[in-house]
Amino acid sequence: MSNARKKVLDRYREDYEKQLNIAERKINPQIQKYYQTEYFKGVDNFIQNGTTDYQSLFQYGLVKNIYTEMYKSIGLRFAKWYYNKYEKYIVKKNAPQTKLQIWESYFANYASKVAAVNVSLVSGTAKKTLIKLTQKLMSDPEFMMLGADQKARILRNQFKQYSRYQAKRLVRTESNRIANFATQTSALDLFGEENLEKTWIHSMGLNERSWHAALNFKTIPYREYFNVGGENMFRPGEGSAENIINCRCTINYQPKPIPIHEQNILESIGVAVAIGSIIDQE
């Protein structure tokens, strides 16, 4: 790999991380508020009735709506971001504005598929947290001797912390998943599948998985899978929990470089070949 290409991929990583941080700061308060609202309902039930009534909390429909809004918001940001980075290298196609409704539909549909698998996990983890903490406090004689207001205050403070932690973990995982799906969607709209390559880009974070770092700058044809610690993954963010929770790796899509002799032939007949060396020109 040329030094020019490495520099471009490093810039891509930096830009991607910057966009991801912006997107997460925007969406994280909404997710944290949802967790906190549901936990506080459980606290109120516990104080009033002695039970959390956890069956009524973290319902599928609400969690699915959260996924949908998060995926549409972050997905559109990254689809437009990728499109704007690379559309200058090709013959003009439809502007991103004409794609927005189509992209939004793609991302909402993707959110539904992911939510169908993950909602029970998200809901189950939250409910277990609620039950574990309330049961622990119920076995504490000092806590049980407190008044209702004091109990409620202690519980709310505890669940504020859990809300921050669980919201952050959910957003970090899902934002990276949808961001990588969105850049893929945008790349396919720009270039199509034929002759498209993809390059794994490690986040360079100190806490990242070593087997992710081993894939840094590995390039394969679009339709192939990366071998990620023994698991086949089409892109970062799409795999088992072991490979996606808190992962910040990304992927770059670009057309295969056109060989020099083919460039000469194309140029001789007046065909633009700018996309043949996108990585080196950027």
Q: What is the pLDDT of residues 166-205, one digit of tens each?
A: 999 899 999 999 999 999 999 998 888 988 999 999 988 7
Q: Are the CB atoms for 73 and 180 separated by under 8 Å? A: no
CA distances from 190 to 86, 194, 195, 203, 254 (A): 8, 11, 12, 25, 10
pLDDT tens across 79-112, in order? 999 999 887 776 555 667 778 889 999 999 999 9
State the DSSP code for 252.
Answer: E
pLDDT tens across 32-65, in order? 999 999 989 888 888 888 776 777 888 888 888 9
Please check the confidence at residue 253 and state whether its pLDDT lies above 90: yes
How many Å apart are CA 27 and CA 38, to the nearest integer? Answer: 17
185, 21, 23, 19: which is closest to 104 by C-alpha?
185
Q: How many domains does the chain have?
A: 1
Give the residue-averaged pLDDT of 249-266.
68
pLDDT at position 198, please? 96
Residues 6+ apart with CB under 8 A from 79: 96, 99, 103, 107, 182, 183, 185, 186
Question: Is residue 261 within a helix (H) or strand (E), and if so which, with residue range?
Answer: helix 260-268
pLDDT at position 33, please? 94
Q: Are the CB atoms for 174 and 73 separated by under 8 Å? A: no
Give the residue-averaged pLDDT of 207-221.
91
Q: Are the CB atoms for 164 and 59 separated by under 8 Å? A: no
- What is the model's pTM? 0.84
Q: Which amino acid is at 15?
A: D
State the DSSP code for 203.
Answer: -
- Tell me the three state secondary structure of residue 198: strand
Greater confidence, 223 or 118?
A: 223
Which stretch of 4-18, 30-44, 131-145, 259-273 has the lowest confidence by average pLDDT? 259-273
**Domain interval for residue 199:** 3-281
